[in-house]
């Protein structure tokens, strides 16, 4: 397999994965989320306080 073919297939796989994640979000699934606050445990402005509620539960 040539280098150009490998790069094209790799790019295609990445694009398909991104499209699949986007379609999943548009279909009503929860958005992809990371670790709210990260390592330092700071506030998460993206989840609007849901992470703090989840941490309080357990």
Q: Which two tokens stand for residue 28?
A: 């009503």
Q: What is the C-alpha to C-alpha distance for residues 20 and 29, in angstroms, rounded to an integer? A: 12
Question: Residue 58's pLDDT is what?
Answer: 47
Sort 37 into a burial class: Cβ within 10 Å, 0-12 / 13-18 / 19+. middle
- Per-residue pLDDT 10s for the chain (58 aa) are 799 999 999 999 999 999 998 888 788 776 666 665 555 555 656 555 555 555 555 4
- Provide the residue range defining the domain that includes 36: 3-57
Q: Do 36 and 47 form a contact (C-beta atoms < 8 A)?
A: yes
Question: Residue 9's pLDDT is what?
Answer: 97
Q: How many domains does the chain have?
A: 1
Question: Residue 3's pLDDT is what?
Answer: 95
């Amino acid at each position: 397999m040539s280098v150009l073919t490998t790069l094209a297939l790799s790019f295609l796989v990445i694009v398909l994965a991104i499209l699949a994640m986007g379609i999943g979000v548009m279909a009503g699934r929860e958005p992809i989320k990371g670790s709210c606050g990260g390592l330092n445990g700071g506030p998460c402005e993206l989840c609007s306080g849901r992470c703090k509620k989840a941490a309080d539960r357990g």
